[in-house]
Structure 1
Amino acid sequence: MSLLAQVLPSCARVAEAAQSVRINPDALAAYALRLEPHLPEKLVHSDHHLVGEGETSIAYFLMLDCLNFGSGFFDYWAPYSGETGYFAVARALKDWMVATGPPPPEQLRALTPEAMAHLFHQDHSDEKLAPLLEWFSKACAELAGFLEGPLQGRYSNIIELNNASAPEMVEALTVMPMFRDVVRYDGQDVVILKRAMIFVHDLAIALDQAEEGEIKNLDQIAVFADNILPFFLEANGVLDYAPELKARIASGEVLTSGEPAEVELRACSIHASELLRQAIAARGMAVTARDIDFALWNLGTDLSEEAGQTTHICKTWFY
């Protein structure tokens, strides 16, 4: 069984055994009806992203999703070009990639924490950002090795050498340790793979948008579990948190990556999202997990920006 095929069953096991997070079936059924109008007619990238530039666009999305984490640090991340958080990262990387083109391995390895701060227009002396900038540098060093080795020096080989197949591409990415989003819970592996799946998703949208090709087996991709999805599902009653976990999140406590409650937040989000997809599909609507994620993440991002709304905080390179 491929790693990708293990995401849904491993997360379902967690949902069944979870102690701190519970799925509310009645609320889920009701919310499935409310979610339908928010599902996208077509998945497209916003202009924060670099689309339609062939090899450069593939390099852009591979590097973007190599760095698609840091939510636990975004309170300290300075805006760029009027954008904050993920969109600030995406926009700054787009501007850099347009100026430099696809970076060769030696350029990726030269991206020290200080160089990362310069690329993203951040203050390198800000100690609160130091761990994130270190991880960004480490992630790019891993990408350099991946580009030199499995990709044989060409970013587009992520498609060609993996048969343009979502499961094969996801599996290939997990040779980079920071992409291997697999954790332990109750003595078993839980396969989440947020950044590996979202790269394939992002690339598929970009290729379709630019009419440059397509990726196969995209229906095997699950939602991309971060801190926004559980936050939004809980806000709409689909997830219920135990009082202790609710208090920890409300107080701003930093959860430890891989601790049981943190695994439950992500795994239950994936399982609940799959149940939402099934409920909507049962009414005759063609819907994928990618559509569900798009709607939940955008609605959740809007809600999280309102005063008094709190997502859980976890400082990790998985999201």
Structure 2
Amino acid sequence: MLWPAAAGEFIAKNAQHVKIHEEGLDKLCKEMLKGLDIPDTGADMIHPSKDHPRAVDWVFVCDALNFCFWSYSGAEKWTVDGHSGYYALEAALHRAIKEGHDITNPEYYSIITADQLHRIMRGDNSVQIPLFNERLSVLHEVGTILLQKYEGTFLTCVKAANKSAVKLLEIIVENFPCFKDEVTYKGQRIGIYKRAQILVADLWNFFEKEGWGEFEDIDKMTMFADYRVPQVLVYFGALSYSEELMEKLKRDELLPSGSEQEVEIRGCSIHAVELLKKMLSSSTKLEGSSTLDLNSSYIDYYLWCYRRKYAEEMEKVPFHKTLGIYY
């Protein structure tokens, strides 16, 4: 089994439909060095205080449900209070708490009904959150596991990790099947672990690298291989797609989860960000800087926010579409 960083390198060396380009990485590196602050997306995160007694479980539930928000080109999106995508999910869960739903408690969501979840996830329009039934199943799965193995709270897992991001990642993927993002590529078993890694990184961010968010090896996490960050990488020329693959994306053709082309997009994105991290770290402009933890998690979030800030411009590049629970 290859874990994400090694998996990305292996995929990049063997990819037939996706290529990494050093000149594009250099262009993106120079763009980031203009200002490494996270781009303002114009949308404030909607979540409780980090001092809330169930703050860790809030992050866990959000990331258990954090997958597949895309819509087909030109289609109306699922929105909550004007927010779309992950922000809409946060808005829905925040609203649920205000309305008295005990959504951070596995005793509640391990047996939540479809009607209850429909009520919580209701949008501004008639569009339903994608993969509703899968989200219902995920809540039942992770809630039951927390109750049976972890005293009814994800905090037990965080404590067991003892400030190790890698250990927490292992706990997540070994005990929660819906986070076990693994495929076979060119005969090699690989783990991409997008949602498991983002769960670790979200704790790191949410708690501002302290307390339950303190991880001594957060730099071991890679980027979170989804469908939006590759869009930015292609826009800057850091990635390119074969003509066959690009035509599929332009037609909004679904790429099956675990298919060769889908895995190559995700794996090459991981390796491209690892290479970008080395470029940024070796830049003389960063020498002596102590104001930034320049790890792959940070770079991923920068690129994700960059895509949202320049959403209209980014739409020049089609993004791949896959229906599944892993991202």
TM over 0.5: yes
Taking structure 1 as reference, are residues 97 and 146 closer, same or farther at Cα in structure 2, changes over 3 Å only? Answer: farther
- Tell me the residue number matched to 1:112: 113
- Please tell me whether the aligned partners of residues 151 and 158 of structure 1 are also in contact (alpha carbons under 8 angstroms): yes
Counterpart amino acid of residue 325 in structure 2: W
Taking structure 1 as reference, are residues 71 and 78 closer, same or farther at Cα in structure 2, changes over 3 Å only? Answer: closer
- Please tell me whether the aligned partners of residues 12 and 267 of structure 1 are also in contact (alpha carbons under 8 angstroms): yes
- Please tell me whether the aligned partners of residues 51 and 57 of structure 1 are also in contact (alpha carbons under 8 angstroms): yes
- Please tell me whether the aligned partners of residues 304 and 311 of structure 1 are also in contact (alpha carbons under 8 angstroms): no
Q: Distance in 1 between matches of 2:197 and 2:270?
A: 13
Q: Deviation at 1:164?
A: 2.6
- Please tell me whether the aligned partners of residues 124 and 130 of structure 1 are also in contact (alpha carbons under 8 angstroms): no
Q: Distance in 2 between matches of 1:67 and 1:16?
A: 32
Q: Deviation at 1:49?
A: 2.6
Q: Distance in 2 between matches of 1:209 and 1:95?
A: 27
Counterpart amino acid of residue 109 in structure 2: L
Counterpart amino acid of residue 35 in structure 1: M
Q: Deviation at 1:209?
A: 7.3
- Please tell me whether the aligned partners of residues 63 and 198 of structure 2 are also in contact (alpha carbons under 8 angstroms): yes
Q: Tell me, which stretches of 5 or more residues in structure 2 are unaligned?
A: 287-292
Secondary structure, in 3 states, of the residue corresponding to 2:55? helix
Secondary structure, in 3 states, of the residue corresponding to 1:139? helix
Q: Distance in 2 between matches of 1:295 and 1:130?
A: 25
- Tell me the residue number matched to 1:314: 322
Q: Distance in 1 between matches of 2:49 and 2:307?
A: 25
Does 1:56 pair with 2:54? yes
Q: Deviation at 1:77?
A: 4.2
Taking structure 1 as reference, are residues 308 and 274 closer, same or farther at Cα in structure 2, changes over 3 Å only? Answer: closer
- Please tell me whether the aligned partners of residues 69 and 318 of structure 1 are also in contact (alpha carbons under 8 angstroms): yes
Taking structure 1 as reference, are residues 115 and 308 closer, same or farther at Cα in structure 2, changes over 3 Å only? Answer: farther
1:62-141 alignment runs, 5 A limit: 62-73=60-71, 75=75, 77-98=77-98, 99-101=100-102, 103-122=104-123, 129=128, 132-141=131-140
Does 1:287 pair with 2:294? yes
Taking structure 1 as reference, are residues 190 and 72 closer, same or farther at Cα in structure 2, changes over 3 Å only? Answer: farther
Taking structure 1 as reference, are residues 247 and 101 closer, same or farther at Cα in structure 2, changes over 3 Å only? Answer: same
- Tell me the residue number matched to 1:266: 266
- Please tell me whether the aligned partners of residues 143 and 176 of structure 1 are also in contact (alpha carbons under 8 angstroms): yes
TM-score computed with the length of structure 2 as normaliser: 0.87
Output the aligned Cα RMSD.
2.7
- Tell me the residue number matched to 1:10: 7
Q: Distance in 2 between matches of 1:121 and 1:196?
A: 26
Q: Distance in 2 between matches of 1:148 and 1:293?
A: 32
- Please tell me whether the aligned partners of residues 5 and 271 of structure 2 are also in contact (alpha carbons under 8 angstroms): yes
Q: Deviation at 1:314?
A: 0.8
Q: Tell me, which stretches of 5 or more residues in structure 1 are unaligned?
A: none
- Tell me the residue number matched to 1:208: 208
Counterpart amino acid of residue 34 in structure 1: E
The number of residue pairs the alignment matches comes to 313
Aligned sequence identity (%) = 27
1:219-230 alignment runs, 5 A limit: 219-230=219-230
Which ranges of 4 or more aligned residues in structure 1 deviate by more than 6 Å? 123-126, 209-212
TM-score computed with the length of structure 1 as normaliser: 0.89
